[in-house]
Amino acid sequence: MKKITAFIKGRVQGVGYRYYVTNCAQEIGICGYVRNKEDGLVEVIGEGDENSLQEFIRQLHASEDSVIHVDDITVIWADSSREFKTFGIRW
């Protein structure tokens, strides 16, 4: 099991991005959370197997969405802490 911390930059707040990320995570089986940050970034914490996380990162780009626009994603990999059982939105 691995863990990612991702910071997403772009038009990702106020456009339903957190709900999009939550749906992707739940479909793939990723545990963790997504939240807006005050600096305009979106933070995503995800835990799962490496292949699932790679697919999750690919989907974080939301390239098929006409409203969301991701400019950049910074991903930090680590070993899983196994602290999450589900995926959800944090406020």
- CATH number of domain containing 43: 3.30.70.100
Catalytic pick from 18, 35, 58, 82?
18
Catalytic pick from 11, 23, 36, 51?
36
| Helices marked H in 1-91 | 17-28, 50-60
Mean pLDDT, range 77-88, rounded to an integer: 96
How confident is the model at residue 31, as a pLDDT? 98
How confident is the model at residue 33, as a pLDDT? 98
Q: Is 51 a catalytic residue?
A: no
Residue 34 lies in a domain: yes
Kindly report, residue by residue over 17-66, the tens digit of the pLDDT: 999 999 999 999 999 999 999 999 999 999 999 999 999 999 999 999 99
Tracing tokens 């995503």 back to the chain, one arrives at 44
How confident is the model at residue 29, as a pLDDT? 98
Q: Is 35 a catalytic residue?
A: no
pTM of the model: 0.96
Domain that holds residue 30: 2-81
How many domains does one find in the chain? 1
Residue 35 lies in a domain: yes
Residue 24 lies in a domain: yes
